[in-house]
């Protein structure tokens, strides 16, 4: 039984889907928004530690990772962080900048969900939640959605079901399946913004450092593909996490090494050699002034001793230059081989997704199937940590919502 005929059906009532539906609805289109979840906007709710890092005022295309890096330019330029801040302020939501351009709600991410809901209501968007989409087919000029709430027909369909991160919150690969069904290419999806894991035996000594955080420069790749971030690093039982690792995880490929500089901006070898004369400080104290004592002790315990004496107990003045420089080199270039990632259960986003070479960058419409759109994280556009992924969701949603049109 056909339960509704619409200009556009938006599948996925998350960040990008609500933005697209609201924009189209407010332009007078008949829009229906469908989601299989019971609760609206779960990822927005848990984002930013419950305060939603809703944008980054420094957003540029360089903050995104994709096989088609220029694709995001047009949508990001047409809907900027300023545009979203304007929306947030019109709804009376107070916000603050935490650091590096990251904007958070003062109160709770619930206010962003409520705002998007009000925006959809202002566009008279019809809701179908919790609604399972059993199939999506194209017949003549219309799309037909067979759902748990009956059949829906729409001239245009927007796939806004996001990526696969946090399946326990209902994330699925629905958009990727639909892309393949309609003959579009998919860039291999992988967990991103995710902790990295290491061989359990090799990691055991560092597992004792779980909970220690410090600023580090982390890099991977070489030549043109070399990527580096300066962020906080966190030791965990199974490996490494914290913003530095989450950022580099989006660029890391299985089998590759990552390199960490645990004293970024310093030249420890030169400093130590120049300052060692008469310096009676134990090496462990020198390192403990740089990091926490626990890390200093553990690091030196894993270093080879000097003539039978544990390195930590030795005084700076007594250390040969070569030994000091060797130690400094290992601190500035700590090379690790992750065995994998903590997976979609712990990832913040999915990298890869629908290949954007098959999508129009101004409208988010597929080039090969008229009326079929993809927005948000389902596309092969992955933002850095720090509000960029939401900015992409808003910008791609807005680009799509503005270009959807009324059925003739
Ligand atoms: C823990 C965590 C914290 C995060 N914090 C931030 C942050 O602070 N800042 C930031 O920029 N980004 C953050 N992100 C990333 C951000 O949440 C996503 O990039 C963003 O939500 C993507 O928007 P989207 O609309 O494409 O997908 P989503 O917001 O994930 O929405 C997809 C919607 O589709 C629905 N859906 C999925 N499958 C189906 C299906 N088969 N049928 C019907 N409906 C379906 C889902 O229920 C969901 O409502 C965080 C992510 C996580 C996991």
Q: Indicate whether 231 belongs to any domain.
A: yes
Substitution candidate for ligand 1 out of 148, 348, 394 with most atoms within 8 A of CB? 348
Substitution candidate for ligand 1 out of 11, 38, 40, 43 with most atoms within 8 A of CB? 43
Q: Write out pLDDT tens, residues 86-142.
A: 999 999 999 999 988 999 999 999 999 999 999 999 999 999 999 999 999 999 889
Cα–Cα distance for residue pair 386/212, rounded to 1 Å: 21
- Domain match, 62 and 96 both: yes
- Which class for 330: exposed (0-12), middle (13-18), buried (19 or more C-beta within 10 A)? middle
- Domain match, 259 and 128 both: no
Among 342, 357, 381, identify where a domain stops: 342
Cα–Cα distance for residue pair 244/262, rounded to 1 Å: 11
- Domain match, 88 and 178 both: yes
DSSP string, 259-318: EEESSTT--HHHHHHHH-TT---BHHHHHHHHS-HHHHHHHHHTS--BTTB-GGGSBGGG
Q: Write out pLDDT tens, residues 133-160.
A: 999 999 988 999 999 999 999 999 999 9
**If you ran DSSP here, which 8-state letter would residue 376 be given?**
G
- Domain match, 248 and 172 both: no
Q: Indicate whether 408 belongs to any domain.
A: no
CATH of the domain at 308: 2.40.30.10
Q: Are strands 126-129 and 31-35 parallel, antiparallel or unpaired?
A: parallel
Report whether pLDDT(371) > 90.
Answer: yes
Number of domains in the chain: 2
Q: What is the pLDDT of residue 295?
A: 94
Cα–Cα distance for residue pair 56/63, rounded to 1 Å: 10
Q: Are strands 213-220 and 227-235 parallel, antiparallel or unpaired?
A: antiparallel
- Domain match, 378 and 359 both: yes
Q: What is the pLDDT of residue 202?
A: 83
267: confidence class by pLDDT, cuts 50, 70, 90: very high
Among 342, 358, 386, identify where a domain stops: 342
Cα–Cα distance for residue pair 104/93, rounded to 1 Å: 10
Three-state DSSP state, 17: helix
Q: What is the pLDDT of residue 309?
A: 67
Q: Indicate whether 156 belongs to any domain.
A: yes
Q: Write out pLDDT tens, residues 168-226.
A: 999 999 999 999 999 999 999 999 999 999 998 888 888 889 999 999 999 999 888 89
- Domain match, 207 and 356 both: no
Q: Indicate whether 155 belongs to any domain.
A: yes
397: confidence class by pLDDT, cuts 50, 70, 90: very high
Percent with pLDDT over 70 in the chain? 99
Q: Indicate whether 121 belongs to any domain.
A: yes
- Domain match, 285 and 373 both: no
- Domain match, 235 and 267 both: yes
Ligand 1 atom closest to the Cα of residue 13 is 49
For the chain, what is the mean pLDDT?
95
- Domain span holding position 337: 195-342
C-beta 170 within 6 A of ligand 1: yes
Report whether pLDDT(405) > 70.
Answer: yes
- Which class for 34: exposed (0-12), middle (13-18), buried (19 or more C-beta within 10 A)? buried
343-380 burial: b if 16+ Cβ within 10 Å, else e:
ebebbbbbbbbbbbebbbbebbbbeebebbbbbbbbbb
Is residue 392 within 8 Å of 383, Cβ to Cβ? yes
Report whether pLDDT(62) > 90.
Answer: yes
Q: What is the pLDDT of residue 127?
A: 97
34: confidence class by pLDDT, cuts 50, 70, 90: very high
C-beta 53 within 6 A of ligand 1: yes
- Domain match, 15 and 110 both: yes
| Average pLDDT, integer, range 26-53 | 97
Cα–Cα distance for residue pair 39/130, rounded to 1 Å: 8
- Domain match, 29 and 173 both: yes
C-beta 348 within 6 A of ligand 1: yes
Substitution candidate for ligand 1 out of 162, 241, 392 with most atoms within 8 A of CB? 162
C-beta 191 within 6 A of ligand 1: no
Q: Indicate whether 119 belongs to any domain.
A: yes
Q: What is the pLDDT of residue 362?
A: 98
Q: Write out pLDDT tens, residues 218-263.
A: 999 988 889 999 999 999 988 899 999 999 999 999 999 999 999 9
Give the number of C-alpha atoms closer than 13 A to the C-alpha of residue 116, restricted to the C-beta side.
Answer: 27
- Domain match, 58 and 154 both: yes
CA angle 312, 318, 324 (to 5 degrees): 65
- Domain match, 154 and 275 both: no
Q: What is the pLDDT of residue 307?
A: 64
Among 301, 325, 342, identify where a domain stops: 342
Report whether pLDDT(293) > 70.
Answer: yes
CATH of the domain at 143: 3.50.50.60
Give CA separation, 330 vs 262, 267, 289, 321, in Å: 9, 12, 18, 14
Q: Which residues lie closer than 8 Å to 102 by C-beta, 6 or more apart? A: 53, 56, 386, 387
Cα–Cα distance for residue pair 263/188, rounded to 1 Å: 35
Cα of 299 vs centre of ligand 1, distance in Å, is: 39
Cα of 266 vs centre of ligand 1, distance in Å, is: 39
Cα of 44 vs centre of ligand 1, distance in Å, is: 7
| Average pLDDT, integer, range 290-319 | 83
């Amino acid at each position: 039984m056909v339960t509704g005929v619409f200009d556009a059906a938006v599948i996925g009532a998350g960040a990008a889907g609500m933005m697209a539906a609201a924009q189209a609805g407010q332009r007078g289109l008949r829009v229906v928004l469908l989601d299989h979840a019971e609760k609206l906007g779960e990822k927005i709710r848990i984002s930013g530690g419950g305060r939603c890092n809703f944008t980054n005022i420094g957003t540029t295309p360089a903050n995104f990772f994709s096989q088609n890096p220029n694709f995001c330019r047009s949508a990001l330029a047409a809907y900027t962080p300023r545009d979203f801040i304007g929306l947030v302020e019109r709804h009376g939501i107070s916000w603050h900048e935490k650091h590096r351009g990251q904007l958070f709600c003062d109160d709770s991410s619930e206010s962003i969900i409520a705002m998007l809901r009000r925006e959809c209501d202002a566009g008279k968007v019809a809701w179908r939640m919790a609604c399972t989409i059993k199939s999506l087919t194209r017949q003549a000029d219309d799309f037909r959605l067979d759902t748990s709430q009956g059949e829906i027909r729409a001239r245009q369909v927007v796939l806004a079901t996001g990526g696969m991160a946090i399946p326990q919150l209902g994330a699925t690969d629905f958009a990727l399946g639909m892309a393949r069904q309609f003959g579009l290419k998919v860039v291999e999806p992988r967990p991103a913004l995710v902790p990295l894991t290491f061989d359990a035996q090799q990691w055991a000594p560092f597992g004792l450092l779980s909970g220690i955080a410090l600023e580090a420069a982390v890099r991977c790749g070489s030549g043109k593909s070399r990527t580096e971030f300066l962020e906080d690093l966190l030791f965990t039982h199974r490996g490494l996490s914290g913003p530095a690792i989450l950022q580099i995880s989006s660029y890391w490929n299985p089998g590759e090494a990552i390199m960490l500089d645990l004293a970024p901006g310093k030249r420890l070898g030169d400093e130590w050699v120049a300052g060692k004369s008469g310096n009676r400080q134990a090496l462990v104290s020198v390192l403990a002034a740089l990091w926490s004592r626990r890390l200093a002790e553990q690091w030196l315990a894993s270093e080879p001793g000097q003539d039978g004496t544990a390195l930590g107990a030795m005084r700076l003045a007594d250390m040969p230059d070569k030994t000091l420089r060797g130690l400094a080199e290992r601190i500035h270039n700590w090379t690790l081989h992750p065995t994998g990632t903590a997976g979609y259960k712990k990832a913040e986003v999915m990298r890869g997704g629908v290949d954007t070479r098959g999508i129009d960058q101004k409208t988010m419409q597929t080039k090969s199937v008229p009326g079929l759109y993809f927005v948000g994280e389902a596309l092969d556009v992955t933002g850095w940590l720090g509000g960029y992924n939401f900015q992409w969701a808003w910008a791609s949603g807005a680009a799509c919502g503005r270009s959807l049109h009324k059925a003739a």
